[in-house]
Structure 1
């Protein structure tokens, strides 16, 4: 519960509610999910509210702005007709429960698994495009000065610095960074960017109605194509890899609805640039989760597990970048992926110990509920990753190759580079997240295996 005990959280939230003219909170419940911030649902008479809160005050250090500015961004979006939640109070130091704000709960589900099965996905896609265009109608003068304007080159340099601090040894990420440096577009007129506009941060009701746009902590000013591309990344399509736009439909339908509302045309080249940029950005975001766990600012188990999802973005990134490789390299046969046999006739091996713990967690998971049950699922996921690494011997690190790519000594034109990276990407992701939908697609594309 971060910097507050359960009793302190309830007491502090009561002070917030009193200041906002609400009754004392009842039924405070931690919601699952949320890669960075905590979410708590509670009732106030006949109304339902959500507390959005940082896991610790240390977690907010180094961010460009606090929750008070994020709340102002949300309210500005609501004023433009965006289906954003109403913020009713911002936490202050006197509340003694950290940093965050309280917003009125909206109807609908954020669960991508449910939303992507709705009967009218294209209708929902068009509404999402409409809201995104309305967000992009907001300009720098409309919000507090604390909301930054992205400098594209500075953003690339920052990602490269993060890469070096994380070891600088992932060749596919190095390819992405080098490509971005070589293909960075000229700046355009900055508009408000949501920064995390994708399935998982949208609320919806069946058969296909958008009811809310959530999680505004990454809002900044920049190129509208950044938001358009982010929602089309493979990772945010979830199990609907076949529907590239938000997992709901085609890019053509998405762009057409956006263009109709915004009155501008989508530039396909800029869209591709930001698709690659944000894939690198999310790869580094995954790696950074291990850093915040190590330094103690957030010791949630979910952080270290997310760090291993870097391999998802490496596979997606390679499929995007290899379009620029020579035909002969893309046609080159890939090395076979082998599994390392695991046998032990004496004492239990490390792998077997992990399997035993995994089986125990599976046996007791029905005895717990709420967020603790979610944490048990994350724990099983972590153990599964480790067990599969024992079985495959997969690895992704190669500092020499990564540095050669960054300096231009080697590239996608280098003989066998594509085949080598395909092999490593498949091996690593097969161990980390074997159910990732893009993995089956890549395996079939590169090896013919169904």
Structure 2
């Protein structure tokens, strides 16, 4: 069962007292948060945020706990990054689990609002500046528990996650095989934020005000951070702006290079763009595992799991980019979907329920209102999926791609994979910007050379 303000207020008061703060007031759950909970409250005239795990069990498989995360944030703050000020960590005797309290920063984390601000170029330069400052931190600046990424071990871990998730997604298999064949040589590791993207940045018009969610920080290749925020999924509805949804890659790289004093390697950037796309595809799949186990029964888990289709489509287009550069283009036009004119179907009933839910959205507030929006989104997925026949599970084909027995662009299965990617995403996330681009690209009649 999800925590309530009443569940948390006593333990939070004990933690605040250790930091010399007055009793917390106005505690309420903030919207969003795919992994951790965020609760806003005030102590006198100051506003704070409690960052908390949904359960202690949820922390068991994570590389480090909240005390280490808090220490990383403190180090970043001291280095001039617009990170929040951590004021106190939760302790076992507080009785409310694992987490810490930090100052509440101004600005909005809503990507759609930020990407509509004027002067996006200024925000892009500030984001590049902060990222370079994060990468300036060394091993001596953070606890020893912050891990160092081994690239090959990271691929092996993703391969294991793939097997645990059924090993039956051919597009992800293609990505894993590409990563195994193209893994770059290690470079001197820097502190990597690990989740540097829209959604984890706070901003006001013309000003970056905060860098949040440091739970994935580790030492590794700086290009991993540079690439992750440029994935299509994190550009939201600004597919036309490849750098964080804010602008051009050339400008992003130039601002980063000016602050960091080093050149961005385009080849390494591309590798990590593909690596993290595979990583997030498998991360989405894992959300369903959390929900099924009962570890976390939040509605967001099952909905996020369906976003795997977004990453499969993005991944397929990224991988095709290499083949297209070699002049290998499979043919076939994708036909239009047939229309249905019969009686009301299950999907239409789900649509009707979603429409009714929209009539009561003004009667709920806070996190409940967010959950209502997620519920409507879930019903929309069911409604759209009912009209198609899923074709995404194929263990034999995935194994052939994974072992290299079959090659991507010369195999006739690529046409079906394209259809699968489009069909699945049409059901799961029809407004995803890359969908229209892929549909246009793959609907053209082309010849295999």
TM-score band (shorter)? over 0.9
Q: TM-score when scaled to structure 2? A: 0.96
- Secondary structure of residue in 2 paired with 1:286: helix
Answering whether residue 347 of structure 2 is matched by residue 351 of structure 1, we say yes
Partner of 2:371: 375
The CA deviation string for residues 222-272 of structure 1, in whole angstroms up to 9 with x for no partner, is 000000000100001011100000000001000001011111110110000
* Count, aligned residues: 444
CA distance change for structure 1 residues 395 and 418 in 2, over 3 Å: closer, same or farther?
closer
1:240 equivalent in alignment to 2:230: no
1:80-136 CA-partner distances (Å, limit 9, x unpaired) = 110100000000101101110000111111111111111110111001001100100
Q: Which residue of 2 aligns with 1:296?
A: 294
Partner of 2:51: 52
Note if 1:409 corresponds to 2:405: yes
Which residue number corresponds to residue 36 of structure 2?
A: 37
1:209 aligns with 2:207: yes
Q: Displacement of 1:334 after TM fit?
A: 3.5
CA distance in 1, matches of 2:349, 2:183: 48
- After alignment, is 331-340 or 160-169 more displaced? 331-340
* 3-state SS, counterpart of residue 325 of structure 1: helix
Q: Deviations over 1:292-351 (max 9, x none)?
A: 00111110011000000000001110110002226664251233253473633xxx6433
Given that 1:309 and 1:433 are in contact with CA atoms closer than 8 Å, whether structure 2 keeps it comes out as: yes
Deviation at 1:368, TM superposition (A): 1.2
Question: Which residue is 1:425 aligned to?
Answer: 421
Report the counterpart of residue 442 of structure 2 in structure 1: 446
2:305 equivalent in structure 1: 307
Which residue is equivalent to 1:94?
Answer: 93
Query: 1:184 aligned to 2:183?
Result: yes
Structure 2 residue matching 1:392: 3-state secondary structure: coil
Q: Is the CA contact 1:339–1:391 (under 8 Å) kept in the aligned structure 2?
A: no
Secondary structure of residue in 1 paired with 2:209: strand
For 1:210 and 1:392, the matched residues in 2 are separated by 43
The answer to whether the 8 Å contact 1:110/1:202 transfers is yes
Gaps of 5+ in 2: none
Aligned mate of 1:318, from 297, 312, 316:
316
Give the alignment's TM-score, normalised by structure 1. 0.96
Q: 2: distance between equivalents of 1:7 and 1:306?
A: 28
Contact 1:324 1:412 in 2 (8 A): no
- For residues 320-335 of structure 1, what are the structure 2 equivalents within 5 Å? 320-325=318-323, 329-335=328-334
The equivalent of 2:121 in structure 1 is: 122
1:222 aligns with 2:224: no
Contact 1:125 1:248 in 2 (8 A): yes
- C-alpha displacement of 1:448: 5.2
Alpha-carbon distance in structure 1 between the residues aligned to 2:151 and 2:224: 11
Query: CA–CA distance in 2 between the matches of 1:124 and 1:170?
Result: 37
Selected match of 2:264 from 256, 263, 266? 266
The DSSP-based 3-state class of the residue aligned with 1:391 is coil
* d(CA) in 2 for partners of 1:210, 1:196: 16
- Distance (whole Å) between structure 1 residues aligned to residue 391 and residue 13 of structure 2: 50
Q: Structure 2 CA distance, aligned partners of 1:388 and 1:413?
A: 29
Structure 1: where are the runs of 5+ without partners?
A: none
Whole-Å Cα distance in 1 between the matches of residues 444 and 86 of structure 2? 51
Q: CA deviation at 1:352?
A: 4.1
Q: In structure 1, what is the Cα distance between the partners aligned to 2:65 and 2:330?
A: 50
Q: Which residue of 1 aligns with 2:76?
A: 77
Which residue pairs with 1:386 in the alignment? Answer: 382
Aligned counterpart, 1:363: 359
Render the CA deviation track for 1:379-405: whole Å, top value 9, x for unaligned: 111111111111122331111111110
CA distance, structure 2, for counterparts of residue 24 and residue 188 of structure 1: 48
Which 10-residue stretch deviates more, 349-358 or 142-151?
Answer: 349-358
The separation in 2 between residues aligned to 1:396 and 1:340, in whole angstroms, is 22
Partners of 2:190 and 2:408 in 1: how far apart? 34
CA distance in 2, matches of 1:365, 1:335: 38
| 1:5 Cα deviation after fit | 4.6
Q: Does 1:275 align with 2:273?
A: yes
Flag the 1:109–1:275 CA change in 2: closer, same or farther, 3 A.
same
CA RMSD of aligned residues (A): 1.6
